[in-house]
Amino acid sequence: MSDSRFESANVCPGNYTGTLVMSCIARSVRTRNVGVTLYWDISLHCGDQRRVWRTLWLSPKAVARTKVELARLGVRTLADLDNDPPVPLGAACRLVVADVQDRDGYRECRIVHWQVLSVTMAQQGVPTDDRS
């Protein structure tokens, strides 16, 4: 399970390319579950910028799926989440946004799928040579 919400209601369903700009540990107030929230900056077709996010939960039911999704970004073990930031930043991702209705009948746009397009060598844990 994951939670995908938008900073602005002006994000319409569609395909977007975003850059991972922030990640942090999250805790659900209702269920007390812990997760990792990933934040992407996207450009809308009109040129405006928006920030969208998706929370990957670490609950017993969701942890296997979350591990697979985090591995796409170079997080090899859950212990890697102790780093600051918990997930390496800067990855370019394709985000698929759809209009979704929850169990209570509430409709909203959510990230329903995401795919990593590129990750830099530094993000993969490969040391970079700063010598010129």
Q: For residue 124, tell me if it sits in a domain.
A: no
Helices (H), the chain: 63-71
Q: For residue 132, tell me if it sits in a domain.
A: no
Please report the pLDDT score of residue 95 as a whole number.
95
Q: For residue 53, tell me if it sits in a domain.
A: yes
CATH code where residue 107 lies:
2.40.50
Q: For residue 49, tell me if it sits in a domain.
A: yes
Count of structural domains within the chain: 1
Q: For residue 71, tell me if it sits in a domain.
A: yes
Q: For residue 130, tell me if it sits in a domain.
A: no
Task: Give the range with max mean pLDDT: 1-5, 20-24, 29-33, 116-120.
Answer: 20-24
- 3-state secondary structure at position 69: helix
> How many CB atoms sit inside 10 A of residue 26's CB?
19
Domain range spanning residue 105?
A: 2-118
- Is the pLDDT reported for residue 97 higher than 80? yes
pLDDT digits (tens, 9 = 90+) for 27-82: 999 889 999 999 999 988 777 888 999 999 999 999 999 999 999 999 999 999 99
Contact yes or no for 111/54 (Cβ under 8 A): yes
